[in-house]
Amino acid sequence: MVFGKKFQKYYRALRRRTIGFQYGDIWQGKNAEKWYESTDSIYPLVHNDFLNYLSDKHDIKSVLEVGCGPGVYPIKYKDIFEKFEYTGIDISKSAIEYCKTHSDFNFLCDDFIQIDFPKKFDFVFSRSVIDHVYDIDQFLLKTVNLTKKYAYIYAYRGFFPTSENHDSKLDKNGSYYVNALSKKQLEKTLLKSGLDKTEFIIRSQESGHNEWNIGTIIEINKI
């Protein structure tokens, strides 16, 4: 057991090392406006689902967005987040530099899986981030741990209700991970986190995007 934990830590450190310092830039490049345009048209149905989800949560004050990239939500959709105390975190230096120069919200450049936050947040969300992290279960456990009330995690790369385990591979250039999330393994990890099975839902969601039409949404509602 002890060996198991040590091995996992070592394995995680090894996987983390492969992603390098410019993680994130591979998608967003230096042109945030282009990224905004493309993500707008990529996921219209998910965007609507997210807005519907938020619209009936009236007890949210503090919000953490994980893997905020160049700030589609806090900058392009600033009007939605103005009423919250929003914090965005991303491992990509250039994405966070962009956010800091275009917004007054709070932004941090760090690895979400490693960082120690001094406080929890009413609402934690991420879009298309769990698809590329180097440790899916740790990402999920950290999200649960930092959530006071609600969390909403969207994964765009499919919905896999029958797979026993997650599938996680480096992309062909070795610069980031491409993950396929097993619903069964997600369930096990959420139960292991201490959540009751009534406190989360894992469901499929159409995005409206041609290639990646069916994704996974994890909703957490702590009672």
Ligand X SMILES: C[S@@+](CC[C@H](N)C(=O)[O-])C[C@H]1O[C@@H](n2cnc3c(N)ncnc32)[C@H](O)[C@@H]1O
Total binding residues toward ligand X, as defined by CB under 6 A: 21
Torsion sign, CA atoms 33, 41, 171, 153: positive
Tell me whether residue 16 or residue 148 sits nearer to ligand X (CB atom).
16
Residue 124 found at the interface with ligand X (CB under 6 A): no
Residue 129 found at the interface with ligand X (CB under 6 A): yes
Q: Which of 24, 74, 88, 215 binds ligand X (CB under 6 A)?
A: 24
Candidates 49-57, 65-73, 79-87, 212-220: pick the segment binding ligand X (CB under 6 A): 65-73
Q: Which of 90, 125, 142, 218 binds ligand X (CB under 6 A)?
A: 90
Residues 6+ apart with CB under 8 A from 208: 42, 43, 44, 45, 46
Residue 89 found at the interface with ligand X (CB under 6 A): yes
Any long-range contacts for 32-39 (C-beta under 8 Å, 24+ apart)?
32/70, 32/71, 32/75, 32/95, 32/98, 32/102, 35/69, 35/70, 35/72, 36/70, 36/72, 36/75, 36/76, 39/72
Q: Which of 53, 60, 77, 111 binds ligand X (CB under 6 A)?
A: 111
Residue 136 found at the interface with ligand X (CB under 6 A): no
